[in-house]
Amino acid sequence: MANMSLICLFLMIALLFVNVSEAEEEIRVYELKNREFSVKITNYGATVLSVILPDKHGKFNDVVLGYDSIEGYKNDSTYFGALVGRVANRIGGAHFTLHGIQYKLPANDGNNTLHGGFRGFSDVIWTMKSYKKDSHITLTYNSVDGEEGFPGDLSVMVTYMLIERNKLAIKMEAKSLNKATPVNLASHTYWNLGGHNSGDILSHTIQLFASKITPVNDELIPTGEIATVKGTPYDFLHPRSIRSKFNDLPSGYDINYVLDSSSNKHLKKVAVVEEGKSGRKMELWSNQPGVQFYTSNMLKDTKGKGGYVYSKYGAFCLETQGFPDSVNHPNFPSQIVNPGETYKHVMVYRFTAD
């Protein structure tokens, strides 16, 4: 009997190593490519690894920050290129109440929950459902009831697709299977249109189609107020350089903008960003109510692609999203998805160079 017990133990250990090995083997890198640009994506965190675009002279550069290997992403605390969820951004106090039940979440950002907790969607292996190099890739993930404290089983899908010659679209969907749950997915790509290794982004010109913001406290949790940007450093209704109001806001930008309504029934214009030296321009549309504008204020001495060291203000993020901490602010647009309902989030980028 003792020998049988030992054999069973050894078999269990062997199976454990096999499973770990298989999990490692499941991580893949996929490329989407046409004549104008290419995008690399991994199923680890459904992460954007690179976006290679021509400048006005036809020279190609990678315009997103990241690492040389998948190992870098596994140890990452910046969320480079990641698809974050179940709930992106912050949940104040790491808790919320839904239908009379209080849910306690892991506090991985001081007293608060950030980007889904310690092991959010950016730290799991997604399953490749469909892939065509010149067209699209679709990845899926099944999040179980209680994962990182969130209620209900959730079926999640993201599709990255090339459209026409110079557009990249991201379509995120999540279906609640058995319990009401908050859902707020976001693409956390760090952009530098001069090239990932070209220095800071302070000279980039940006226009944001948003007249209001959701002010935050010193822990970056919304106060519940919705305030106008008029007369403040947050006003980017007309194009200006990112650095132009840094004297009034020396810590940089990390705030949710309330996107203005649009005559387009499906997508709102979110932003236009231009970089003068390369001539690259990025335009963004989405169906979401908000966008987090972040100037990588907390980026510090991070060794990235090709050994280049990324520093503060080395990139900007435009994370279209529902409002942060909406589960604790009834006046914010609801992010609750009920059983049988499907959350849908669309982003469309257009890249040009003149």
**Binding positions for beta-D-galactose:** 89-90, 188-190, 254
- On whether the CB atoms of residues 224 and 330 are closer than 8 A, the answer is no
Closest CA to 291 of 40, 48, 89: 89
**Is 188 an active-site residue?**
yes
Task: Return binding residues.
Answer: 89-90, 188-190, 254
Query: Which DSSP state fits 153?
Result: -
Which position among 115, 148, 173, 188 bears the catalytic label? 188
Q: E strands along 144-260, which residues?
A: 154-163, 167-176, 181-182, 186-188, 205-208, 210-214, 227-228, 240-241, 254-259
* Phi and psi at residue 14, to the nearest 5°: -60, -45
Q: List the 29-33 sheet strands across, edge first.
A: 29-33, 38-42, 47-54, 60-62
Would you say 305 and 152 are in contact if contact means Cβ atoms under 8 Å apart?
Answer: no
Catalytic residue among 274, 319, 329, 345: 319
319 is catalytic: yes
Q: What are phi and psi of 2, to 5 degrees?
A: -60, -40
Closest to 348 (Cα-Cα) out of 296, 286, 273: 286
Q: Which residues belong to the active site?
A: 188, 319
